[in-house]
Amino acid sequence: MARLGLVMATELEAGPLIAALDLRLLQNRPYRIYGNTALTLVISGIGKAHAAAGTAHLIERHAPELIANLGVAGALSDSFSLGELCQAASVTEPDRLDVFTNQSPEFTPATLSGPRQVRLATMDRPARTAAERAELAELAELIDMEGAAVIQTAATYGLSCHLIKLVSDTPEQPDLKANLTKNPSLPGHLPRILTLLEQIQLA
């Protein structure tokens, strides 16, 4: 079994990595899963429910020893550049409150030296307006739609989890679709991402 289980939301994000590592298709349904001897990659779909279910399926079927989530995230301030590679040092869910504390739950991913460490917020909808970004910036620096779900599912199975994010949009450049079309960020960072994945496997 491959040591690392990798969770990505879409084929658009995962395509360059699949090609670079020459991953072969292991399974088509209910999730597309690719792999080699070092890692197994699941395409989970977008959002927390899809991410949690895809992560659980990957763990149940392929028994990785640790989990990583790689994908895009939006910046909540102008201190980030498009395509910047980051790793979450904490992750919270602003759209879910603990029934006892009335606070958003917070989780601590595993981290490595290297990429900028950030506070991540995971929500089931993107922050579309400047006002939404400004409000969320009090809690986090980046926002995504999968990270918190992946780390909680990994923890359920007793596995550590890394959350690796590429900045896809910022307050000054908020058009996610246009940004990804004009300047897809993952290919430019492939060498660093491959090195980081190797470090995670050796940690």
- Confidence (pLDDT) at 131: 85
Q: What is the pLDDT along the chain (203 residues), one digit of tens a residue?
A: 679 999 999 998 899 999 999 999 999 999 999 999 999 999 999 999 999 999 999 999 999 999 999 999 999 998 998 889 999 999 999 988 777 887 888 999 999 988 999 999 999 988 878 888 888 888 999 999 999 999 999 999 999 999 999 998 777 776 766 666 665 566 678 888 999 999 998 87
Which residues are bridge partners to 107 per DSSP?
A: 91
Helical ranges in 104-173 per DSSP H: 130-136, 147-156
- Confidence (pLDDT) at 152: 98
CATH code: domain of residue 141: 3.40.50.1580
Number of domains in the chain: 1
Show the domain range for 145: 4-202
pTM: 0.93
- Confidence (pLDDT) at 184: 56
